[in-house]
Amino acid sequence: MCVSISQVSRFRIHSFGSSCCERVHGWIKNSSSLKLLDVRASSVDGKARWIRRNVSTTTQGSRGNIKSSVLGGTVPLTRIIDEESRTKVQPFGNLQQRLAQDKDLPKLLTVIVSDLETTGLNRKRERIIEIAAQDLAGGGYSTFQTLVNPGDVPVTNTDIHGIRTDMVCRPEVPRMEELIPIFLQYVESRQKPGGYVMLVAHNGKSFDFRFLINEFNRCSYEIPHNWLLLDSLPLGREHMKSLDPTGKPKASLKVLQEHYSLTREGDAHRALSDVLLLSKVFQKLTIDLKLSLSDLVLRCHTASDIIAVMAKNKKA
DNA sequence: CAAATCTTAAGAATCCGGTG
DNA sequence: CACCGGATTCTTAAGATTTG
């Protein structure tokens, strides 16, 4: 079963300095060499055929011109699920423990830092309006960014991120149901054969991952079973607390940026800018906390963990 | 601002060893 | 076995913190 995506815009893949090693340290190399490329996403499994299109729109925004490439093509909807399969308990077991003990972990794991912008804070009513992600291994097409059309949900928090309703509620901006297969394809293109993906987000457990799960669910998709979700906020808290055991640890992205004297590329609260910053912060935290890939895996959640917590809170 | 998590502290519940 | 007291664990609530 396939769906045709006639117009999917604002999907950009950036080239990123390549570097990958066994330890988490040194993932990011020469990030200043970031270079915007046109979209040339290729099929991973041969099932998807994507067609590159020329730039079709330029949106004038308060934060400067936004030029976008437009990607079109067809993507197989292999992740449509029915209610019966959704209610089955997925055999996660102790995936993290098994994976953490795997000697080939560096060859299996892809670490992707991600960030979302939304129309607001309410996880039920509000919608995602921007997604960015970056594979810390770097290389070509390692970075993903796109605006998302929230449909009939207006953007009421433009003052936070600068994204206006008229910027996203356009026919050429992809809706979430159109974007999910593209995002999945991006992740799969970064994935190692038979490998796992660690999705990192700041305050992800409370915010990003829940939004993502809700949107996937709304569009009848499910988070792939080989994804592990890591919230970087507890790492930040742990580090800040180690510096001041008596104080109350603040560990927002902004606080961590200032703590590490890091420079931001772009505006705060824009998905790609936040992703690039979090990539740097995450690397610093793993160094300071002396965390190996195995340690990080053990700190991950699965989507089912978070779904269970969401269900529990719903009851309460 | 909404909503969830985390931290902390206080109180309750449980466990355990000592004593008779 | 019954009882006591201390230590440990669990529960709950409030406040701080985070995300957009």
Residue A112: enclosing H or E segment and its boundaries? Answer: strand A109-118
pLDDT digits (tens, 9 = 90+) for A135-172: 999 999 899 999 999 888 888 778 778 888 888 988 99
Q: Please check whether strand B approaches the CB of A61 to within 7 Å.
A: no
Please give the angle made by the CA atoms of A212, A18 and A289, to the nearest 5 degrees. Answer: 65
Q: Please check whether strand C approaches the CB of A202 to within 7 Å.
A: yes
Q: Please check whether strand B approaches the CB of A237 to within 7 Å.
A: yes
pLDDT digits (tens, 9 = 90+) for A199-220: 898 878 777 887 888 888 888 8
C17 closest protein residue (CA to C1'): A250
Rg of chain A, C-alpha, whole Å = 19
Residues 6 or more apart from A150 whose CB is under 8 A from it? A119, A127, A128, A129, A168, A169
Entry pTM: 0.71
Residue A255 has pLDDT above 50, yes or no: yes
The encoded tokens of residue A263 equal 């420079």
Residues 6 or more apart from A38 whose CB is under 8 A from it? A52, A69
Is residue A23 within 8 Å of residue A292, measured between CB atoms? Answer: yes
Note the CA–C1' distance, A219 to C6, in angstroms. Answer: 56
Q: What's the fold here for domain A5-41+49-78+94-315?
A: Nucleotidyltransferase; domain 5 (3.30.420)
Beta bridge partners of A231: A201
Domain coordinates of chain A in residue numbers? 5-41+49-78+94-315
A259 is catalytic: no
